[in-house]
Amino acid sequence: MNFLHNALRKLIDAMGQLCVVLMLLMVANVFYDVLMRYFFNDVSIGMQELEWHLFAAMFMFGIGYTLKEDAHVRVDIFYEKLLPHTQAYIDIFAALVFALPITLIIMYYGYGYAIDAYQMNEGSPDPGGLPHRWIIRSVIPISNVFLLLCIFYTILENVLKLQGPNEHEDHIHNEGV
């Protein structure tokens, strides 16, 4: 179980690093777009669309990383005062009852959405816009597959917490996570 937990953690952390790269690319893209617009009076529709493509991918894949880091939005009025094992039970319950079903629904409908865009060869309606809109639409189901892994990681993490302090926690702290 620890092997699976560590493998998932490494995969999720790698995706977090990908999100950093996507953000840097987005910032560079916005910088280029502003520079071209205000200094050279040149506008690229494709570059503007690329901004929101990069933002969408960064956001969608970042959801799972945020879940893994326990940095998601939560009302902590009561939660923070609970015992760790009670928090673990709440996290498992929330993952199974709330996060898992909505993720499966979004993944199911997102898949059809991406396939439809691919089959009709959907592209930007604007002249000079990006072709192959199915690429960004496919981020929806793919990022939700990743989110499923993150939900599984969260459940596994909390099951390990419920088992009590062991080498699992020592291993995480030794790796600097």
Mean pLDDT of 92-110: 96
pLDDT at 129 over 70: yes
- Judge whether residue 120 has pLDDT over 90: yes
pLDDT at 17: 97
The pLDDT score that the predictor gives to residue 111 is 95
User: Structurally, how many domains does the chain consist of?
Assistant: 1
Question: Model-level pTM?
Answer: 0.85
* pLDDT tens column, 150-177: 999 999 999 999 998 754 444 454 454 4
**pLDDT tens across 63-79, in order?**
999 999 988 777 778 88
- Residues 17, 31: contact at Cβ < 8 Å? no
- 99-133: string of b/e by CB count within 10 Å (b at 16+)? bbeebeebbeebbebbeebeeeebeeeeeeebeeb
Per-residue pLDDT at 177: 47
- Domain of residue 20: give its range: 2-174
